[in-house]
Amino acid sequence: MKLPQWVRRLVFQNWYSAPDRLPLSHKRVSRQSIWRQYAWRQYGWRVALFAAIVLLQVTWARMPVRSTELPIELNSPMNSPMNSPVNSPVNSPAEFRTCRPNTQFTTVRSSDQVPLAQTSNLGELLSNLSPALAAQFPAPFPQINGIARLARVPVIMYHDILPEKEVFFDVTPSEFTAALELIRTNGLMPISLDQLTQHLATGVQLPEKPILLTFDDGYKGHYESVYPLIKQYGYPALFAIYPEKVGTGSDIGRSSLTWEQLREMAADPLVTIASHSFTHPLDMTQLPDDRLRYEVAESKRVLETNLGMTLKYFVYPSGKNDERVQHWVQMAGYRAALTMNDEVDKFAGESENLLSIDRIGQSSLAEVIQSAYGGAPLPPFGNSLNLGTDVKLDRRTVNKVPLIMASGGRPTTIHAKSRYQVPEIIANTPAVAAVDGGFFSLENLDSNVMVGPVLSQSTQEFIPSVRQEVGLLVGRPLILISPDKVLFVPFDSVKHNSLAGVQAEMPQVTDAFVGAAWLVKDGQPQPTESFGKLYGFDASRDRAYWGINYAGQPVVGVSGDYVDSVTLGKALSQAGLRDAVMLDSGASASLAYEGKSMMSYEPRPVPHVVALLPPNPTLAACAIVSEKQDQE
Ligand SMILES: [Zn+2]
């Protein structure tokens, strides 16, 4: 069988780039056709990859649902979660229902929706292709990709390593060996700056617990102690060198590497050499343009000439840099630059951009390796949600705002019969984590009446809002959940107060309720103006929220301290949330994880939660069947 010309060209041509294929030797080739050939060689395979993925996804979406994915009743002993307590402190605060086979389930899996179960080989293939595809479409330089904000990569900064300490940040060889042992026994995987920058630009996942080791100023001990040890452990490391010092003995800045030692290290694949300027000025932000250009460009030229390699990275002396310094670093052809910050320890993903990647002093090593994390998997291509990962707890402090969050799994809501503590509400369900949900009426202590319309998977009943209050909710985020989608839309009191109305917005809707306000919308933290007249939005309070992160995972969480809404939105955006909605603030803000309250106080009981179920596809949700009569 002979393939059509265009297919052969698409598939084969780009695998060869031999110069003899260039049509330049043909006399009558037009400029246009040279460009066309060039364009195919440059971009053809990307187009082919893209087409293949689209084709796979379409095929996958059209595959029939397999019998093994049929849901099973949760209440049967076989499927009850292992960790649910035998005796719940209250009698069934909430029923947790799933569909029965052959009822609503098939309507959920209609052919126009992509099945969520990531169990098929095609699904795995797509997930595996995602990183390759992401690498082709990085965030615009020097921005950090939103997904990379979810990871926590410590970049550790060392200075001299020598037998006798002279200043506090000196490290002895035995202390450094102990640090390497600490890294090894804690299961950390040192990575190179190449790996880190690719991750920061594309969001591609790193090893589970990554760390990057860096050594500044080119001391003799880097050759005598550090280099043999990193070879012994097989760990990559970065050395920041300023040429003025190399080979000077101890005249400038104590001991120094020689060019010969440096060449030997640079030739080792474990070693990355970066420029640390030419003369190590005290503060590069104070230098005039011509001197700046000299420091960044001349140091690059001299190091490249002496080492016979291209230098890609710059390390600011004493971390000092600003926009102008970054500009010159970029102009000199560097692809990334490292800085340092004495005040706060920041992981790489919290950095401003690729031209100022933060580092952490070596004295914090033992502390920061406890939270090293390689990031979430990329969402399956073409699907903004990734509901196939395990639910995990994450505590971190961003811009001085402590955050307690659980992410992963699949979102659902539970509308309980009365008010309970959040751990009580999820006690007899498979939910791994939950946060208190929408606003509720304060009329009676045991009332479960919500403010605004509510539809919950747990009751499978749509309860409209009382007419008097519905107008107050206009424009607030209406949260809609279906088995494969989550939507946050501005609430419309005419359109959204009936089951038909919310189904018009999302046909397979399983859960709906109205939240307090957007904290982050399409990646943008919301400004003061966006909160309008929302009562107390600018007060410092405990706050509960939920949303979707850049990896497409659902997230539920609380602030670990009093915070106002605008500050919280900024922190959540920095922590990698693409969309986040505030659910509650004050004394009922509550997060439960694996059956336990994550709060330092006992919150007020609530009737409604947003919960994260494990990614198990047999816990499929189903569309809604009934509607309560409108309340007058
Ligand atoms: Zn330095």
Q: Are residues 167 and 41 in the same domain?
A: no
Least Cα distance to 399 among 358, 434, 427 occurs for 358
For residue 262, report the distance from its CA to the centre of ligand 1, in Å.
16
For residue 280, report the distance from its CA to the centre of ligand 1, in Å.
6
Q: Are residues 349 and 399 in the same domain?
A: no
| Higher local confidence (pLDDT), 163 or 194 | 194
Q: Is the predicted pLDDT of residue 109 greater than 70, yes or no?
A: no
Q: Are residues 324 and 413 in the same domain?
A: no
- The residue out of 55, 75, 94 marking a domain boundary is 55
Share of the chain above pLDDT 70, in %: 74
Q: Are residues 183 and 48 in the same domain?
A: no
- Per-residue CA distances from 19 to 22, 23, 27, 33 (Å): 5, 9, 16, 16
- Confidence band (pLDDT; 50, 70, 90) for 5? low
For residue 150, report the distance from its CA to the centre of ligand 1, in Å.
29
Q: What is the pLDDT of residue 489?
A: 96
For residue 281, report the distance from its CA to the centre of ligand 1, in Å.
9
Q: What is the pLDDT of residues 32-60, one digit of tens each?
A: 555 555 555 656 666 666 666 556 655 55
Q: What is the CATH number of the domain that holds 168?
A: 3.20.20.370
Q: What is the pLDDT of residue 50?
A: 62
Q: What is the pLDDT of residue 593?
A: 97
Q: Are residues 366 and 398 in the same domain?
A: no
Q: Are residues 298 and 405 in the same domain?
A: no
Q: What is the pLDDT of residue 33?
A: 55
For residue 157, report the distance from its CA to the centre of ligand 1, in Å.
10
For residue 219, report the distance from its CA to the centre of ligand 1, in Å.
10
Q: What is the CA radius of gyration of the chain?
A: 28
Contact 329, 337 (CB under 8 A): yes
Q: Are residues 354 and 397 in the same domain?
A: no
pTM of the model: 0.73
Question: Is 247 among the domain residues?
Answer: yes
Q: What is the pLDDT of residue 631?
A: 45
| Higher local confidence (pLDDT), 445 or 360 | 360
Q: Are residues 498 and 531 in the same domain?
A: yes
For residue 604, report the distance from its CA to the centre of ligand 1, in Å.
53
Q: What is the pLDDT of residues 139-159, one digit of tens each?
A: 889 999 989 999 999 999 999
- Contacting residues for 418 by C-beta, under 8 A, at least 6 apart: 93, 446, 447, 448, 607
Q: In which region does residue 186 sit, left (phi positive, over 0), alpha (psi from -120 to 50) or beta (all else)?
A: alpha
Q: Is the predicted pLDDT of residue 348 greater than 60, yes or no?
A: yes
Q: What is the pLDDT of residue 66?
A: 36
Q: Please give the tally of structural domains in the chain.
A: 3
> Near ion ligand 1, which residues have CB within 5 Å?
216-217, 317
Question: Is 160 among the domain residues?
Answer: yes
Contact 537, 565 (CB under 8 A): yes
Share of the chain above pLDDT 90, in %: 59
Question: Is 448 among the domain residues?
Answer: yes
For residue 617, report the distance from its CA to the centre of ligand 1, in Å.
53
Q: What is the pLDDT of residue 53?
A: 59
Contact 497, 469 (CB under 8 A): no
For residue 342, report the distance from its CA to the centre of ligand 1, in Å.
14
Q: Which amino acid is at 270?
A: L
Peptide bond into 142 cis (omega under 30): yes
Q: Is the predicted pLDDT of residue 13 greater than 90, yes or no?
A: no
Q: What is the pLDDT of residue 89?
A: 39
- Confidence band (pLDDT; 50, 70, 90) for 132? low
In 222-262 the beta strands, taken as DSSP E runs, fall at 237-241
Which of 91-95, 458-462, 546-550 shows the lowest per-residue confidence on average (mean pLDDT)? 91-95
Domain extent for 336:
139-371
Q: Are residues 487 and 617 in the same domain?
A: yes
Q: What is the pLDDT of residue 532?
A: 86
- The residue out of 337, 371, 405 marking a domain boundary is 371
For residue 601, report the distance from its CA to the centre of ligand 1, in Å.
46
- Per-residue CA distances from 60 to 46, 102, 106, 109 (Å): 21, 22, 16, 13
* H/E run at residue 583: strand 577-585
For residue 158, report the distance from its CA to the centre of ligand 1, in Å.
10
For residue 359, report the distance from its CA to the centre of ligand 1, in Å.
13
Q: What is the pLDDT of residues 507-560, one digit of tens each?
A: 999 999 999 999 999 889 999 999 988 888 999 999 999 999 989 999 999 999
* Mean of per-residue pLDDT scores for the chain: 82
Q: Is the predicted pLDDT of residue 396 greater than 80, yes or no?
A: yes
- Confidence band (pLDDT; 50, 70, 90) for 112? very low
Question: Is 126 among the domain residues?
Answer: no
Q: Is the predicted pLDDT of residue 446 greater than 70, yes or no?
A: yes
- Confidence band (pLDDT; 50, 70, 90) for 561? very high
For residue 217, report the distance from its CA to the centre of ligand 1, in Å.
5
Q: What is the pLDDT of residues 236-259, one digit of tens each?
A: 999 999 999 998 765 566 789 999
Q: Is the predicted pLDDT of residue 267 greater than 90, yes or no?
A: yes
Q: What is the pLDDT of residues 569-582, one digit of tens each?
A: 999 998 999 999 99
Q: Is the predicted pLDDT of residue 618 greater than 60, yes or no?
A: yes
For residue 200, report the distance from its CA to the centre of ligand 1, in Å.
24
Question: Is 62 among the domain residues?
Answer: no
Q: What is the pLDDT of residue 26?
A: 42
Question: Is 445 among the domain residues?
Answer: yes
- Contacting residues for 36 by C-beta, under 8 A, at least 6 apart: none
Residue with tokens 């110069």: 19
| Higher local confidence (pLDDT), 287 or 138 | 287
For residue 243, report the distance from its CA to the centre of ligand 1, in Å.
12
Q: Are residues 508 and 614 in the same domain?
A: yes
Question: Is 439 among the domain residues?
Answer: yes
Mean pLDDT along residues 191-196: 97
For residue 181, report the distance from its CA to the centre of ligand 1, in Å.
26
- The residue out of 39, 55, 71 marking a domain boundary is 55
For residue 253, report the distance from its CA to the centre of ligand 1, in Å.
9
* Rounded (10°) angle between helices 121-136 and 31-61: 150
For residue 232, report the distance from its CA to the centre of ligand 1, in Å.
26
For residue 255, report the distance from its CA to the centre of ligand 1, in Å.
13
Q: Are residues 164 and 200 in the same domain?
A: yes
Q: What is the pLDDT of residue 471?
A: 81
For residue 75, report the distance from its CA to the centre of ligand 1, in Å.
63
For residue 248, report the distance from its CA to the centre of ligand 1, in Å.
16
Which of 127-136, 176-185, 353-362, 377-386 shows the lowest per-residue confidence on average (mean pLDDT)? 127-136
Question: Is 91 among the domain residues?
Answer: no
Contact 591, 422 (CB under 8 A): yes
Q: What is the pLDDT of residue 274?
A: 98
| Higher local confidence (pLDDT), 290 or 6 | 290
Mean pLDDT along residues 451-471: 87
For residue 273, report the distance from its CA to the centre of ligand 1, in Å.
14
Mean pLDDT along residues 275-293: 96
Q: Are residues 29 and 174 in the same domain?
A: no
Q: Is the predicted pLDDT of residue 133 greater than 70, yes or no?
A: no
Q: What is the pLDDT of residue 435?
A: 97
